[in-house]
Structures are given as C-alpha cells and as structure tokens.
Amino acid sequence: MSPQLQVADPVTANAVQAVRKASDFMLHRQHTAGFWWEDLTADTTLESDYILFQLWLHRVENGVWNPPNREIIDRAVASIFSRQLDDGGFNIYPQGPAEVSACVKAYFSLKVAGTAAEDPRMVRLRDRIQDLGGLQAANSYTKLNLSLFGLYPRDCVPSVPPEMILLGNFIYEISSWSRAIVIPLSIIASSNVRCPIPAGFTLDELIKDGAAFDFRPAEKFWTFKNFFYTADSVLKIYEGSPLKNLLRPMSIQRCEAWMLERLEHSDGLAAIYPPMMYTVMAMDVLGYTKDDPRRVDALKHFDNLMVDDDTKGFYFQPCFSVVWDTAIAAYALAEVEASPVSSDLQQSLNRCADWLLTKECRRKGDWAVKRPNLEPSGWYFEFANEFYPDIDDTAMVLIGLDKAQATNRTAQEAAARRAVNWLLGMQGKDGGWAAFDVDNNWYFLGDVPFADHNAMLDPSCPDITGRVMDALTRYGIGANHPAVRKGIEYLIQSQEQDGSWYGRWGVNYVYGTFLALKGLRQAGVSDREVYILRAGEWLRSVQNADGGWGESCRSYDEHRFVEGPSTASQTAWAVMGLLAGGDETSESVRKGVEYLIRTQREDGNWDEELATGTGFPKVFYLTYHMYRNAFPMMALAMYLNRGKAAH
C-alpha cells in the first residue's frame, strides 16, 4: 500500500493494521494438522441434560443416588447456577428472557444433584417457572425426558412410535437432526422404562394449578394438529393391543439396525449431543452391557463434548464445528492475502487444504434416499459424520478451497468437481438449497405433537442458497446455468417485504441478507436491480448509532428484525452485504469498518458474548467462537479489496 493512500485515507490505513493483527491471531490458532477449531457454546440445557443422563447411567439404589462422578456433577451444577438470571430463571440465549423449558430442566437437574428446594436460588427459579406456566408449559422433549423417571405422566406426553420406521421413506421427510433424535428416542419411549429416582424426590412444586397436563390442541375445527392428536390417541390404544406384539419387535429391530449403521464412520450418531445421549440410553434399553464396545464408544464420543478447564470453566459443546471453522478461516485468510496487507499465507492455506481434502465424504448417507444416483461427495460439520454431509459446509469448503492449494492439486480438482456436482444434485424443486436434504418441506409435519422443537423440517433457505451460489460460480457454473438461474429466482421470491432476507442458520435477517447479496453478486446480478438496492437500503436502515450492527435472537419470535447490541460478527456480515450490493463508499460502510477497527482487541481478536448462530429458531441458539475473529477480518479485507472483481 502506498504511503499516499495511508495519509489520504486513515480508515483504510487503520483497516490494514487491524487485518494484520487479526490474521496473526488466526495463524497462531491453526492446529499443526492444518485445521482450525474453536469452541461452540450454547445454553444451560446441555449441562442440565448431562445431569439427567448421569441419573440414567448411575442408577439410584435403595432410594439414594451416589454417582461415582460426583465432582463432575457438582461442576455442572456450578456452571448452571453461574448463568441464573436476576429473576431466577434461565434463558436460551445471552441477554434473552427466561425460557420455561430451560428453567424446568435446570430445576430438575439442580434439585436431583442435591440442591435443597429451600435454597433461595431454587425458590426464585420455582417462582419464575410458575410465572411462565409451570411444569405443564415445558416442551415435549423436556416432558418425555421427565416421564422416563416418572416425573411427568407418560400418557400425557406425545408418542414416539418406533413403527415410524416401517412407513417406507417417511422418516426421510423429517429433518436429519430430528430423524437422528427420534429413532433412538422411540426405542427408549417404547420400553415404558421408569428409571428410579431418589426417595421422596418430586417436582410437584412446579405444577401449575389449573393447567392441563396433556397436549390437546385448542382448535375445535379440523386442523393438522387435531389430526395428529387423534393419531396419537390411536397410538396409545395400540400400545395396549395385541397388534403391538406383531409390529413392535420388528420396528425396534429396524430402529436398532438403523442406529448402529449410522454409528459407523461417525463420532456418535449424527455427531450431535441429543442423538449421542439417546443412543447410549437406547442401548441400555436394548440390553447392551456396559462393556459392549459399541456402547463404550458411544459414551466416549458423548463425554468428549465436555469442556472441563480451569480457564474456560465447565460446559458442554453441542457438537464440534471443526470443518466449518476451518473453511471460514481459509476464506478469511484468502481475502487477506488478496488485500494490500503484505502477507504470505499460502503455507498455512496449503496445510488447511490438505486437511480439508481428508474430510470429503465418499459414502452415501441419508441424503441418497432422495438422490440415489448422485455420486457421494460433500463435507460435514464435525471431525467425523459420514452419513450427514451438509450443503452449507460443502459450499463453505469449496469457497475456502478456491484460493487454498492442496499438495495434491489433481486430487483437489477431482474433489471440487465431485462436490460441485453434488451441490447441483441437491438443489430443491423451489430453486433453493437446504442444509442436509432435498425438498424436506412437508410443512404439516410441524404439527406433530413431538415437533415443538421447531425443527421438524429442513426446507430451502436464503442464507444457504446464497452461499451455494457463491460457491458454484467460483467453479465455472455461470449465471446462465439453469441451477444458478433457479437460485436467483428463489432469492427474488423469498425476499422479505422490507428488503431483507431471512437467515435460518445465523441471527437472522442481517445474516440472510448478507449471504443472499453475496450469492447474487457472485452470480453476476447487477447491483442496480431494485431488489438489490432495497436490500442495501434495509441494511443501512438498521445500523446502530455506534456504527455497528446487532440483531437479537428475538427476531425469530417476532418474525421481524429486532435490534440488539452491536456485535463483531453481525457488523461484519452487514459490511460484507453492503459491499456485495455495490455500496463501497457510503457513510454506513465507513462507520461499520470504523466500528470493527475500534472494537478490536490488542491481540487481534474481538469480544462477542452474544449468540449469533442459530440451531433451532426459537429453541436453541449457538455462540461460534470462530465468528468473532474470522468474519470481522474477512469484512475488513473485503473492504480493502473493494473495487476488484467479485470476491
């Protein structure tokens, strides 16, 4: 960069220094093998479920619970209490309000772990649960878990019948993560097991007087909710009928086989917390011994999610985000290398590319049910999860590999070619792309009684569609390709009235708008198109006074943008969205860049305590510790690269 430019444009000069510090920080975080891996954190429900799981694993004897890992359970208790809100409750995202299911889970786990009900913290929590509707207001999975211990009436929780697996490809019409939860859970629920609890233990104090225990819908006319309620009533009759003896054993055998098959080449079922926990519980129901290698391995993978560190504290990760983190880091560093920052990053990017190539999926997974003739490829999110490569990770890896050269260039080109073909084959009928599956959009299944985790389906979404288009166009899939044309049309049709786009996997409209604009820019759409101009105007309209951008997780509840405190990652998304939309010189862009420069820490990273990642909208949110460094660095580098061809 010339001295004249630095003097004439101090913002640019400061951006160069910020990018240099950020890239130095990032390079020092790379593991020797070539990957990046930062923590992925969530709310207290993970620690609460861990204590419930320990009550299952280490059974109560003679009315007394004396688990051998008491010290770890005590650390889980301390971790939960450390996040209690002033009103006594627990939230599902930082700075959010108390949420009833998180509160109920916390109360149960804290009490069963030995905290006295008279403890002032428990009294405040109990009062908050009552204010939120009591035990009966918790979601279905909370009630199902409690029913396993006789703490919620079994006939008042939704049925999860293993017979679902006999209905052809029905289970592949629900989302991959729900599928992985439901199959082992159906084995557990069908057993009618009642795990012992400590003598005298009860949750009666959480019961709300006058509130119903069952899940009967309020509608008096025909709806899918009423239909599924009727079906559930029939299932409960079936439970006591002779027909059950004909179908149930076969169903459980098939569920077991399905589960065991997906443990192969994976670090646990679907490599995410809930199915991994339910897998061990299902094995116990099926009679596996504690030293059975399959159970030992399943429990080991679950325990690996635990972080128990003197510096970091005690918490559970919902899964490992290593492939995702690595691809984002590669993309960010590639932007840095293309910027005026004088850096030679190729050695780091080469090691990264070599590692990513080892993670390409070469086996058919659940996705192949709907795409049986498609050659396997793609990347998953975690260290090992062969049955579940996902479209978002695959696109992100392709973008990361675009400027990162592996040692074996021929192998890299072959992998990229396979992955591009896989992405093309995974496009939905609506022109968009989802996360794991194709046309997973039977919306009426959202009314199934056990579907109140708000993630029963995996339909196309604008954020993934934008990223896929960004990836495809880097590998020779031009604007005139039918898949790109359909993707552009999908994004035009899915734009919100205010000019934004919904973000399914990041919070929320800022994320969706950034990725939609990025994909459209990469696909060659003119920044003079009305819908592009409207999106840019919307981004500028929601900028905070401090120059940054912030959006609350509450936006999912209200189906509209809800302002939040500025965060590093959301500010970076907005800046990149504006740049992609052709806005390279506005005051909004400059102020956003200045915000990122001003808030950078001395070590090159940024602070970010709020959740900007989305697991299940309205239910489960994520804090990606990679986001706070990678996206601001990426945005600042793109700012320095403005005026060049699409990035």
Q: Are 380 and 388 in contact (CB under 8 A)?
A: yes
Alpha-carbon 79 to chain mean position: 22
Within 8 A by CB and 6+ apart from 413, the residues are none
The C-alpha R_g of the chain, in whole angstroms, comes to 25
Tokens found for residue 318: 């919902």
Within 8 A by CB and 6+ apart from 4, the residues are none
Within 8 A by CB and 6+ apart from 62, the residues are none
Residue 464 CA: distances (Å) to CA of 179, 275, 384, 536, 569: 21, 24, 22, 19, 17
Tell the burial category of 158 from Cβ atoms under 10 Å away from its Cβ (0-12, 13-18, 19+). buried
Q: How far apart are CA 349 and CA 35, in angstroms?
A: 10
**HSE-up of residue 633 (Cα within 13 Å, Cβ side):** 31
Handedness of CA 436, 440, 443, 449 (dihedral sign): negative
Q: Are 586 and 578 in contact (CB under 8 A)?
A: yes
> Given its phi and psi angles, is residue 549 left (phi above 0), alpha (psi -120 to 50 degrees) or beta?
beta
> Quick check: helix, strand or coil at residue 626?
coil
Within 8 A by CB and 6+ apart from 339, the residues are 16, 19, 637, 640, 641
List the catalytic residues.
392
> Quick check: helix, strand or coil at residue 170?
helix
Helices marked H in 426-525: 462-472, 482-494, 509-522
**619 phi and psi angles, rounded to 5 deg:** -125, -40
Q: How far apart are CA 612 and CA 629, in angstroms?
A: 13
